[in-house]
Structure 1
Amino acid sequence: MSAVLFDMDGVLVDSEDYWVQFEREEILPAAVPDDDVDLAELSGMNYRDIYDYLEAEYGTAITREEFVERFTEAAEEIYTERVALLDGTRDLLERLDERDVPTAVVSSSPHDWIGMVLERFDLEDEFDHVISADDIEAASKPAPDVFEYAAGEVGVPAEECVVVEDSENGIEAAARAGTYVVAYRIDAHGDIDRSPADAVVDAPDGIRETILKLTD
């Protein structure tokens, strides 16, 4: 494998537990109070696309503006006050840099959210590319668009890229793009379908060991 593409939420930082709590306890009761929405339907999607999805599938009880404002406020608190960097991430990035393996953050989050994480953990110079789904006019995960775009940005064919993902939609998107998919199993997502992945790991050291082996 010639390049490594990292999702952000759940893969670089342990934010998914906080997002699941926010969505389950605050945003979904406000947006779709009369429906029981499976969070797996929304995982990995851009938050603006989540509103469109909820509006189309269920109908929403709040405006897009209120929905966006609630997400924006939650993001600032989660990324600047709560999250922790996954163990071994910095060492893994240093090892990949030593091997001249290009790396990228590929996230459905907007650039300012990604920037909060990179600044907080002093990672601004650790990735060769930072790619948000907002960079392209394309379908959100599970569509493969953002990973196809990312492969083009790093200059490596998709089939030579490793993607580390944790969400069902993200795993499917990376698989559909033709990349080698490493699924990181976290409790926040429960028993989702990880069958499209090429490998499944259960701990941060599993990510590190798998990636280093694939790029050796």
Structure 2
Amino acid sequence: MTFPPKMVLFDCDGVLVDSEPVTNQLLQRNLAARGLVMPYDKIITLFVGGTIAGVAQQAAKMGANLEPDWVDVLYAEMFEALAKQVTPIPGVHDMLDRLDAAGIGYAVCSNGPHAKMDITLRRCGLAERLENRIYSREDVPTPKPAPDVYLLAAARADVAPADCVVVEDSPSGAKAGKAADIYTFGFVADTDPARLEPICDALFDDMAKFPALLGIR
């Protein structure tokens, strides 16, 4: 990998927008109401970085009594909460300004649906600057940890994966970056570094530090 890269591919939740505490606490309460009581740290370990459909399958196997339309019910609760509470990850706007000044492209690649990103990115003032560069697992055959969404974003920008870097905060997402053969940073401001260190090429915990890691001075 030669630094600086031509493009940065960001995960969304927990990397650009600070949505994980809101959604994970909501999920913990929702599952407890359906008979599956879990500590918060287990919610994070089992579910962060996956899809809500995947959460439904695993929670049902663990004994949760989920209604047939549970995924839609949860998303409705989640969208309402995020529209009121989500904030950008500290330092994200300044960091993206640095990328713009250096002429480095970027996109967001999420396992979440477009409807969710529309709420979180818009509320955090990121939607306009990411217009036409927002990719979801809805756009590809297979969600993370498959590499599909990252490969799609690179292809749409006409940038080779070898000229990109990925930023992820979950093992599932980091595995997707590595499966795409892309240099992968683990963002560990709110993630146990031990979960990402075996997968990622490098770790960092502050968006203010990120431009320097890319070779931007």
| TM-score above 0.5 | yes
Give, in whole Å, the separation in 1 of the partners of 2:75 and 2:147: 24
Deviations 1:106-164 (A, max 9, x none): 111111111112222332231251001111221x2222222122221222111211111
SS in 2 for 1:187: coil
Specify whether residues 59 and 104 from structure 1 end up closer, same or farther in structure 2 by C-alpha distance, changes over 3 A only. same
Count of aligned pairs between the two proteins: 210
Give, in whole Å, the separation in 2 of the partners of 1:146 and 1:66: 25
Give, in whole Å, the separation in 2 of the partners of 1:5 and 1:162: 6
Deviations 1:12-49 (A, max 9, x none): 1211122222223x233245627886532321112123
Q: For structure 1, which segment, 2-11 or 82-91, has the greater mean C-alpha deviation from structure 2 after superposition?
A: 82-91
SS in 1 for 2:184: strand
Which letter maps to 2:182?
Answer: T
Which letter maps to 2:110?
Answer: S
Match of 1:47 in 2: 52
Match of 1:15 in 2: 19
SS in 2 for 1:196: coil
Where structure 1 has 5 or more consecutive residues not aligned to the other structure, the ranges are: none
Structure 1 runs of 4+ aligned residues shifted over 4 Å read 34-38, 188-191
Match of 2:98 in 1: 95
CA contact (8 A) 1:32 1:54 kept: no
CA contact (8 A) 1:165 1:181 kept: yes
Deviations 1:77-133 (A, max 9, x none): 12x221221222122222222333221011111111111122223322312510011
Match of 1:58 in 2: 62
Which letter maps to 1:21?
Answer: Q
Which letter maps to 2:170?
Answer: S
CA contact (8 A) 1:16 1:188 kept: no
Give, in whole Å, the separation in 2 of the partners of 1:52 and 1:176: 24
Supply the RMSD in Å over aligned alpha carbons.
2.5
Which letter maps to 2:153?
Answer: A
CA contact (8 A) 1:164 1:184 kept: yes
Percentage of identical aligned residues = 29
TM-score (norm 1): 0.84
Give, in whole Å, the separation in 1 of the partners of 2:193 and 2:72: 26
Deviations 1:150-204 (A, max 9, x none): 2212221112111111111111111111111110113355752432111101222
CA contact (8 A) 1:17 1:188 kept: no
2:137 is aligned, of 133, 136, 141, to 133
Specify whether residues 189 and 17 from structure 1 end up closer, same or farther in structure 2 by C-alpha distance, changes over 3 A only. farther
Match of 2:197 in 1: 194
Which letter maps to 1:65?
Answer: D
Give, in whole Å, the separation in 1 of the partners of 2:203 and 2:111: 21
CA contact (8 A) 1:184 1:207 kept: no
Matches within 5 A, 1:59-74: 60-74=64-78
Give, in whole Å, the separation in 1 of the partners of 2:194 and 2:27: 18
Q: For structure 1, which segment, 163-172 or 199-208, has the greater mean C-alpha deviation from structure 2 after superposition?
A: 199-208
CA contact (8 A) 2:141 2:148 kept: no
